[in-house]
């Protein structure tokens, strides 16, 4: 059995790039956490903990996802406390909180909805281009998932998603969310074209694991639309 890499010398960015191996993602977190213990003002390591815990809270064993997401939320809050004028903490707070809300059921999700939207609108105010228009993308998803009675709107979902695509027309996440919104708006022919664009899009080296997941989901949705 090989010895575990020394967390003091291993590159966490290289480990996180291999995040489909969840053990490597956790090793990256341990390195960033060790850095924050040594220097509590380390903003970069703090927000990267939040990002990694979002991934683990979405992909790890189900019985540990809530704890991972709560760890991510706390790291995001710490990042905001360190520098509230940077978008990273606000964005990953919204992402981890949103995933926790989805996993916890409708009532919990509704309780979080205001805080999620506020965090995303803060990112838009600070840097709308952040991470290829990620705030508009997640706001588009927010409007898609939240019931109309509580502020949701499929029309506003489409508006935000199309705004996000201006920053990266090949974003598989945005294209997939747009396709689902178009299906909900009963515009299935448009949704099929969007899914075909998604499947033809090149993988982004920084987001290759996510691209592979969205392409797999796109194939399933496209098959359902063709059958329908």
What tens digit of pLDDT does each residue of 165-207 get? Answer: 999 999 999 999 999 999 999 999 999 999 999 999 999 999 9
Nearest to 100, CA basis, from 146, 145, 61, 67 = 67
Per-residue pLDDT reduced to its tens digit, 34-74: 999 999 999 999 999 999 999 999 999 999 999 999 999 99
Distance CA 90, CA 80 (A): 6
pLDDT tens for 26-41 read 999 999 999 999 999 9
168 contact partners, CB below 8 Å, separation of at least 6: 132, 133, 174, 204
**Domains located in the chain, CATH noted:** 1-127 (1.25.40.10), 158-228 (1.25.40)
- Helix, strand counts (H, E) of the chain: 11, 0
CB atoms within 10 A of CB 50: 28
On the question of pLDDT at 92 being above 70, the answer is yes
pLDDT band for position 10 (cuts 50, 70, 90): confident
């Amino acid at each position: 059995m090989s010895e575990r890499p020394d967390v003091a010398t291993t590159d966490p960015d290289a480990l996180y790039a291999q995040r489909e191996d969840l053990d490597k993602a956790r090793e990256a977190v341990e390195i960033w956490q060790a850095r924050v213990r040594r220097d509590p003002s380390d903003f970069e390591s703090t927000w990267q903990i939040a990002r990694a815990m979002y991934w683990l809270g979405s992909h790890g064993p189900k019985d540990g996802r809530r704890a991972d997401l709560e760890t991510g939320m706390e790291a995001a809050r710490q990042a905001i406390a360190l520098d509230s004028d940077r978008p990273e903490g606000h964005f990953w707070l919204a992402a981890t909180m949103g995933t926790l809300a989805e996993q916890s059921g409708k009532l919990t999700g509704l309780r979080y909805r205001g805080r999620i939207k506020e965090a995303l609108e803060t990112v838009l105010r600070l840097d709308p281009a952040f991470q290829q228009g990620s705030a508009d993308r997640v706001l588009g998803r927010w409007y898609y998932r939240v019931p109309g009675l509580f502020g949701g709107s499929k029309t506003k979902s489409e508006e935000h998603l199309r705004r996000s695509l201006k920053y990266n027309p090949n974003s598989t996440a945005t294209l997939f969310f747009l396709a689902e919104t178009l299906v909900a708006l009963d515009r299935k022919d448009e949704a099929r074209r969007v899914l075909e664009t998604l499947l033809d899009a090149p993988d982004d080296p920084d987001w290759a694991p996510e691209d592979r997941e969205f392409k797999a989901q796109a194939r399933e949705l496209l098959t359902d639309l063709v059958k329908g």
